[in-house]
């Protein structure tokens, strides 16, 4: 799961882009931002949420008022250093206490465990607000780089800066909580209460059903929940912008973009550059999928236009791997079945985790502590309710690492374990940093590291660990690459356009009268997908995506998908891999492990460009690694697309 920046709230031990992955939980309760909390990221495919936006928004109100408060006497740089040291020590204690309570809340779900965790959240909020209020005394001072960075991260940690006026602050808090609540309670009831379906049930229809009428009905039914948010969203934009401007930003979108160690406008241009690097591959994938989906659904799919969003297997058309059976190439058998191999070798849950741990040990990392095995949750208990969604925890920000996952002996969980342990080893690598810097270099790095490790789970790796006798010939790889592209490549334009739309809304470029129209214009521009039928400004389709309704920034997921392939290519080169990039595994290579660890140890202490340079030898993100990884597939797609339209 993608990590958050060290001081920034995110949402979920609920889902990642998918509900089976993408979480890391360093030492903190969910629902609090700013220094004492590092939260799991909001998943890309959010299916449920425990409703803590109210806590986050209330905190935003209090913290903004604190940041706007000033002191008369000008303090000294030495006082600033002493202040931040004291704050870190005290907030660390609170974070550890709250993290323990949150672990219990997730592994022993009761009214009492939730109440205790909420109480510790409140205590942490009060302390953080107090420190933030006193921190504003140091605005404008010339400080050493470390102290200055810590104070900068403190100020940039807010995802929602409420206005200083108490009435407006309360109004924005209420609106934010209300929109998230509307999303969380959303259901489609086509014929009355007995027919109601929630998002999980409707998503299952999109994923598995092939009746276009039922698919369209499920899609339209869910997207109707956004209509009730439209009026509140307009006011939310006004108030969020007012709060951001009071902190010195042009608007709320500029505040979000300022978190990336470069000017906001330059960051936006950087994203467009990355997209242009990978766009040719996406166009080839889109053309192939459109042609195959048209073979299934006929004239419902135009020969050279956008693909109807409801036919792509996902409520938001953000990933297309659920329709892989419709588009799979002939002879797509990869030559092995990982689930069958695991069961054939009588692999149990502990061996599943050991495979993941041994991967990192082979790179030169120390084994996981004994407490990891004693305190983690590996199996679903029979005597109580737990949150089974996979997540990696760092309770004390030092060495109390834990994994929470109800393990099934499947290839999917095998990959998930490797991914989640990537978060755990990252957490331990930066544990010597000051508390504020114990997180990933930017909010895309944590998730990218987890996925980088999963990219090394190749047939060659399976041979080395004794699960597979012989790696299949690379001619078997097109099916695997296509399946992965339907997840990774299909997601990229969606990951880009969600915040592109919000940034334009915050800046005023998109007015309320064009909310839905512009939403679909961007879908068409970047994704080449279209809604079923005509939409109007009575609709509010952005609200049918959790991250929009809940004020959760989304660009981290686009960055993670770019960075994981850049990391993988750099580490494969360090390991001396000579074969196709998609067959390279860094398993057993100490040189690759050393390069990886050097970057991980930096945490959030330096700009992300410095961290990227340590692992990739460049200070610039580079999406060409994606083209290298999928090169055999891109060549195959271009051959398949001869004689059919490309683009829309």
pLDDT of residue 37: 37
pLDDT of residue 495: 97
Cα separation, 318 vs 495, in Å, equals 8
| pLDDT tens, residue by residue, 491-535 | 999 999 999 999 999 999 999 999 999 999 999 999 999 999 999
pLDDT of residue 158: 65
Cα separation, 630 vs 287, in Å, equals 16
Helix-, strand-, coil-residue percentages of the chain, each rounded to 5: 60, 5, 35
pLDDT band at 29 (very low <50, low <70, confident <90, very high): very low
pLDDT band at 69 (very low <50, low <70, confident <90, very high): very low
Mean pLDDT over each residue of the chain, to the nearest integer:
88
As beta bridge partners, residue 24 has 392
Cα separation, 568 vs 451, in Å, equals 9
- Show the 3-state SS of 391-460: EEEECCCCCCEEEECCCCCCHHHHHHHHHHHHHHHHHHHCCCCCHHHCCCCCCCHHHHHHHHHHHCCCHH
593 within domain boundaries: yes
| DSSP SS3 for 286 | helix
pLDDT of residue 91: 83
Higher pLDDT, 635 or 19: 635
Percent of the chain with pLDDT over 70: 87
127 within domain boundaries: no
* pLDDT exceeds cutoff 60 at 332: yes
Domain that holds residue 435: 338-481+581-608
Taking residues 140-156, report their average pLDDT.
Answer: 89
pLDDT band at 333 (very low <50, low <70, confident <90, very high): confident
**Nearest 5 degrees, angle CA 428-CA 152-CA 130?**
90
**Nearest 5 degrees, angle CA 209-CA 210-CA 211?**
100
411 within domain boundaries: yes
293 within domain boundaries: no
pLDDT band at 555 (very low <50, low <70, confident <90, very high): very high
pLDDT band at 384 (very low <50, low <70, confident <90, very high): confident
530 within domain boundaries: no
Taking residues 611-617, report their average pLDDT.
Answer: 98
Q: How far is CA 336 from CA 333, 554, 637, in A?
A: 8, 35, 23
| pLDDT tens, residue by residue, 466-489 | 999 999 999 889 999 999 999 999
Taking residues 158-182, report their average pLDDT.
Answer: 85
Q: How many domains does the chain have?
A: 1
* pLDDT exceeds cutoff 70 at 38: no
| pLDDT tens, residue by residue, 216-243 | 999 999 999 999 999 999 999 999 999 8
**What token pair was written down for 300?**
């419902």
pLDDT band at 290 (very low <50, low <70, confident <90, very high): very high
Number of CB atoms found within 10 A of residue 301's CB? 20
Higher pLDDT, 11 or 212: 212
227 within domain boundaries: no
User: 24 phi and psi, to 5 degrees?
Assistant: -140, 140
Q: Which positions are catalytic? A: 389-390, 419-420, 423, 447, 547, 557
As beta bridge partners, residue 401 has 394
pLDDT of residue 207: 96
pLDDT band at 360 (very low <50, low <70, confident <90, very high): very high
Higher pLDDT, 18 or 282: 282
Q: What is the CA radius of gyration of the chain?
A: 24
276 within domain boundaries: no
* pLDDT exceeds cutoff 60 at 541: yes
464 within domain boundaries: yes
């Amino acid at each position: 799961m993608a990590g958050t920046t060290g001081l920034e709230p995110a949402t979920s031990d609920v889902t990642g882009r998918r509900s089976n992955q993408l979480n890391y939980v360093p030492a903190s309760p969910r629902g609090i931002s700013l220094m004492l909390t590092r939260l799991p990221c909001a998943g890309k495919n959010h299916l449920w949420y425990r409703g803590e936006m109210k806590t986050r928004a209330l905190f935003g109100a209090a913290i903004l008022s604190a940041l706007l408060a000033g002191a008369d006497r000008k303090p000294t740089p030495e006082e600033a250093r002493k202040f931040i040291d004291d704050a870190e020590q005290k907030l660390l204690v609170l974070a550890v206490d709250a993290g323990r309570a949150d672990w219990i809340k997730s592994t022993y779900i009761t009214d009492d465990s939730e109440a205790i965790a909420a109480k510790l959240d409140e205590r942490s909020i009060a302390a953080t607000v107090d420190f933030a209020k006193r921190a504003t005394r140091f605005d404008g001072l010339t400080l050493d780089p470390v102290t200055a960075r810590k104070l900068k991260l403190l100020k940039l940690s807010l995802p929602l800066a409420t206005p200083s006026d108490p009435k407006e602050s309360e109004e924005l808090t209420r609106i934010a909580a209300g929109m998230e609540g509307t999303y969380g309670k959303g259901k489609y009831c086509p014929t009355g209460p007995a027919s109601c379906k929630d998002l999980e049930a409707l998503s299952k229809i999109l994923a598995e059903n092939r009746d276009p009428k039922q698919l369209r009905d499920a899609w339209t039914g869910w997207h109707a929940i956004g209509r009730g948010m439209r009026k509140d969203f307009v006011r939310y934009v006004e108030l969020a912008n007012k709060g951001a401007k009071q902190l010195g930003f042009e608007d709320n979108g500029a505040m979000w973009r300022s978190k990336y160690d470069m000017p906001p406008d330059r960051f936006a241009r950087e994203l467009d550059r990355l997209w242009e690097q990978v766009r040719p591959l996406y166009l080839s994938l889109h053309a192939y999928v459109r042609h195959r989906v048209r073979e299934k659904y006929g004239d419902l799919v135009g020969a050279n236009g956008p693909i109807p969003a409801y036919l792509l297997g996902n409520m938001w058309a953000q990933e297309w791997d659920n329709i892989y059976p419709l588009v799979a190439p002939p002879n797509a058998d990869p030559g092995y079945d990982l689930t069958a191999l695991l069961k054939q070798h009588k692999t149990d849950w502990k061996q599943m985790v050991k495979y993941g741990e041994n991967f990192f040990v082979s790179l030169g990392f120390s084994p996981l502590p004994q407490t990891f095995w004693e305190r983690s949750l590996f199996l679903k208990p029979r005597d109580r309710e737990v949150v089974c969604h996979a997540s990696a925890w760092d309770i004390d920000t030092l060495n109390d690492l834990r994994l929470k996952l109800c393990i099934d002996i499947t290839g999917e969980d095998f990959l998930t374990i490797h991914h989640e342990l990537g978060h755990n080893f990252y957490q331990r690598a930066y544990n010597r940093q000051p508390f504020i810097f114990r997180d990933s270099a930017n909010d895309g790095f944590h998730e990218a590291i987890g996925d980088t490790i999963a990219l090394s789970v190749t047939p060659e790796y399976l041979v080395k660990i004794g699960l597979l006798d012989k790696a299949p010939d690379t001619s078997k790889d097109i099916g695997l690459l296509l399946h992965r592209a339907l997840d990774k490549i299909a997601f990229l334009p969606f990951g880009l356009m969600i915040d592109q739309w919000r940034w334009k809304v915050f800046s005023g470029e998109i007015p309320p009268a064009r909310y839905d129209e512009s939403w679909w214009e961007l879908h068409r521009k970047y994704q080449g997908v279209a809604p079923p039928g005509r939409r109007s400004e009575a609709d509010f389709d952005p609200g049918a995506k959790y991250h929009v309704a809940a004020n959760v920034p989304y660009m981290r997921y686009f960055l993670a998908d770019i960075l994981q392939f850049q990391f993988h290519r750099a580490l494969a080169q360090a390991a001396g891999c000579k074969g196709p990039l998609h067959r390279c595994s860094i398993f057993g290579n100490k040189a690759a492990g050393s390069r990886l660890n050097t970057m991980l140890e930096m945490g959030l202490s330096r700009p992300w460009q410095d961290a990227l340079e340590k692992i990739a030898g460049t200070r610039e993100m580079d999406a060409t690694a994606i083209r290298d990884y999928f090169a055999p597939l891109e060549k195959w797609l271009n051959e398949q697309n001869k004689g059919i339209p490309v683009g829309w």
